[in-house]
Structure 1
Amino acid sequence: MSQSKCETERKYEPTSSGAGGLPDLTGVGPVASVTAAGPEELDAVYHDTADLRLAGASVTLRRRTGGADAGWHLKLPLGGDSREEVRAPLSDDVPEALRELVRSRTRGAPLRPVVRIRSIRHLRHLRDAGGTVLAELSIDEVRAESLRGGGHAEWSELEVELADGARAGLLDAVEKKLRKKGVRRADSPSKLARALRETGLEPEGAPHASAEVTPGSPGSYVLAYLREQVGELTALDPAVRRDLPDGVHRMRVACRRLRSCLRSYRSVLDRRVTDPVRAELRWLAGELGGARDQEVLRERIGTALDELPGDLVLGPVAARLRVWDVSGGDQTRTRTREALASARYLRLLDALDALVRQPPLRAKAGGKPGRVMARAVLKEYDRFAARMDRAMEQPPGQSRDAALHQARKAAKKVRYAAEVARPALGKPVTRLGKRAKAVQKILGDHQDAVVAQDALRGLAVAAHGSGESAFTWGLLHGREGAKSQARQEELPSAWRAASDPALRAPLRH
């Protein structure tokens, strides 16, 4: 069984006088007292692949003894000063649950011990007036030993870590006090990073794009966007495996952005290479789709049910909704887990890495971005406009609903193409993307109402077949129909704003 928590911390280089050179932190923000604890002796062995893929992605995996939290610790970057720490009980080998969470980085490569770090830690607890710990300040005497070559290193470091629930602003206040005493931020973000550097085992780091890419060219903008989305997809893998909120949705969006970029900018990248990658991204998005659709429906129907007056809720409605959700959720989660466990998924990640490392550039990749990228955005807009015109001509009903759904997909492609081009084309393409997004939102709300109606009809049929009242499900079905109609009535105004020729004029010159 693994547990996780978010940790927010900063590391510093202590002064030559060590603990004696630290200021009194009493009175800094809400800190009312400082109490000493320790010392503790900590012994950690860090594991990684032969080419240090985890370290290259700022991920650490260690087996630590000593202290209050002995066990296996996996640390995943969250941005800024924060990381998520996933813990598992102490065992001889890397727990399988943690192996799974790093699979998007290791791609199944063996994990081996690479560095041993032993520390003597002196703790100080920063407490508020009620005695609650707000943060821990630790001074560590560190000894690092390479387990793949015999290099050694020793240093001291100071670390300030926020307690759960403490305000992040406390770190700034403490740092201001430390700086006045000559204490400065450490160059290395973690003990492991410094140990690898000082024992001669630094990782290669993330792959870079080919040197053929000219800065400021269409190729450079497209590849920057692709690298960002590939990194996002890879980083979201652990969240999806643990079924964390919004994880599936965000990974699916990363798939869409990648597919859309590769489609829209075929003039920049050779489609003979990118089309197979797009096909695999479509497969992955499809495997994730069921879980996301179930999540959206559960939230939408549950919220609508909660908003109903009690006298309109007839029969075991809440219980039936739970059974429906558990049944559908189990199936979709199983499908997602099987996809992420497959060799096909790992091959896709390898293909994405290869794509950004050695991009199949075409001649226009080195051209003028104003011309190449504007043309790509306008081409997607023209497809969007054609689908909107086709949808608006349809009479109300299933054919119109299906056409509006296709128009929604086209609106997303305009948005994503505009995102890629924004650094090069600036405000004109940003405005166009925002107008397309406004239409997409209306179409998305309409589509969600259509899908919810189908689900509610199924719930009503199941309730009736079991001898329960179907009144509440029918009521919710009618309300979703009204929402669908309301969105369609909003659509013409939003479409007129998005189709204004003045929006596209700056991109045509």
Structure 2
Amino acid sequence: MAQRHRDTAFAQATDPRAEPPVTGCDGTAGDVLAGYLREQATTFLRALTQGEGDGGSGGAPGTPDAAHQLRRSARRIGSALHTYGPLTDTAWSEPLRAELGWLASSLAREYQHSARLARLLSALHRLSSAEVEDEPTLVPAQPGPPPPAPGGGPLAVGGARAGALLERQLTLARTRAHSAALQAMGSSRFHAVADAVAVLASEVSLTAAAEAPADQTLTALTERAHARLAEAAGALPLARAGQPYNGDTLRAALAAELPAERQDAPWHRVRILLRLSRYAREVFPYDDGEPETRPASLARVLEQHREAAEAAEAVTAAARTPRIAPATAYALGVLHADQRQEVEQARFAFVHLWLRA
């Protein structure tokens, strides 16, 4: 019954005879918001149908592309419900937004573990190669045994074991995330979310405030999202982060009074608020004088910041493994410092992009 309802909603939403969504300043605020939500719900249902057609079982997406589309649509629907919450029935929108957040997180974990492993193994290879290039050539002063072969430095010695340790831990985490995603998407909870999105494709529960003109109401709510972002970014240590390689991120990672997780939290908040601001521009695009490419560039930089920070946390977790060899611990320490330096580099890039406007 639930699947038939989703198929019917998908057919209705994709009917070429259906009226196109209202965009821009045309119509009421509710017309514009409902049109965007229906469009994203249709994309969600299309990805779900594609995943089931490609071999997904129990509602689980059968391909990485289908999972990506589900996650992408879930985030956009949830962001729109958050930013334009005053226009929707709170008793309906808040639970749906929470469930869409759960779904997006469940689908993202496996990909994040895979990307983190690739990042760390690539960084280990890069650091080991740099050590070999910097290693001086030893020329014996008199006949004797040949000089040691390149690549015998402390980082190269421990790098292989550090890489194997990280691969074991992150592969296990990825496998667990994959199993958890399959279990979640075969659950009644997921089917309830999919049914709610199917209803959303044809019906959006709006309040009386949504009857106001789009230009008046959506502009105020969109600017509020931009203002929250500007306030959070203004609270960051922009002047300090604007100095290249100031060492703050590495010192914070080593200091007990300010762990890296706490220091990274304000930057992660800015990344989330930037996402809300970017998606608000999709719902209600208007010219505020900001270059179109700037939000996307800022998002890429903050995503690199998140990846490097979480990779450093994974290295810290690996270094806590009992009875690891000193060479392995040394390699993990160098790798951790490298990732925290990339965090610092991303902050430096963000400041210059942010202050350019």
Provide TM-score, normalisation by structure 2.
Answer: 0.72
Q: Which amino acid aligns with 1:298?
A: L
Q: Give aligned pairs, total.
A: 300
Match of 2:145 in 1: none
Mapped to 2, the partners of 1:494 and 1:484 lie a distance apart of 15
Mapped to 2, the partners of 1:305 and 1:376 lie a distance apart of 46
Q: 2:355 aligns with which of 484, 490, 496?
A: 496
Is residue 2:227 matched to residue 1:416?
no
Q: Which amino acid aligns with 1:334?
A: S
Is residue 2:305 matched to residue 1:446?
yes
Structure that is richer in helix per residue:
2
Q: Which amino acid aligns with 2:267?
A: L
Question: Structure 1 residues 56, 282: CA separation in 2 closer, same or farther (over 3 Å shift)?
Answer: closer
Deviates more, 1:335-344 or 1:398-407: 398-407
Question: Structure 1 residues 52, 348: CA separation in 2 closer, same or farther (over 3 Å shift)?
Answer: closer
Match of 1:230 in 2: 41
- Consecutive unaligned residues of structure 1, counting only runs of 5 or more, are 1-47, 58-203, 501-509
Q: CA RMSD in A?
A: 3.4
Mapped to 2, the partners of 1:353 and 1:49 lie a distance apart of 9
Match of 1:313 in 2: 156
Mapped to 2, the partners of 1:465 and 1:342 lie a distance apart of 40
- How many angstroms does 1:469 deviate by? 2.3
Match of 1:255 in 2: 74
Identity percentage over the alignment? Answer: 22
- How many angstroms does 1:388 deviate by? 1.1
Match of 2:264 in 1: 401
Question: Structure 1 residues 206, 459: CA separation in 2 closer, same or farther (over 3 Å shift)?
Answer: same
Mark the structure with the bigger radius of gyration: 1
**1:462 aligns to what SS in structure 2?**
coil
Mapped to 2, the partners of 1:275 and 1:408 lie a distance apart of 21
Deviates more, 1:465-474 or 1:330-339: 465-474
Question: Structure 1 residues 332, 430: CA separation in 2 closer, same or farther (over 3 Å shift)?
Answer: farther
Match of 2:206 in 1: 361
- Consecutive unaligned residues of structure 2, counting only runs of 5 or more, are 133-150, 241-247, 253-259
1:155-179 Cα deviation digits (max 9, x unpaired) = xxxxxxxxxxxxxxxxxxxxxxxxx
1:266-320 Cα deviation digits (max 9, x unpaired) = 2432223211211211222232343232133122213323434172432434433
- How many angstroms does 1:343 deviate by? 0.7
Match of 1:455 in 2: 314
Q: Is the 8 A contact 1:388 1:407 kept in 2?
A: yes
1:202-259 Cα deviation digits (max 9, x unpaired) = xx64388x99x97832323222221222233333342784664455444333222111
Q: Is the 8 A contact 1:339 1:345 kept in 2?
A: yes
- How many angstroms does 1:327 deviate by? 0.8
Q: Is the 8 A contact 1:442 1:490 kept in 2?
A: yes
**1:220 aligns to what SS in structure 2?**
helix
Provide TM-score, normalisation by structure 1.
Answer: 0.52
Q: Identify the structure with bigger relative contact order (alpha carbons < 8 Å, sequence gap 6+).
A: 2
Q: Is the 8 A contact 2:22 2:32 kept in 1?
A: no
Alignment of 1:97-176 (within 5 A): none
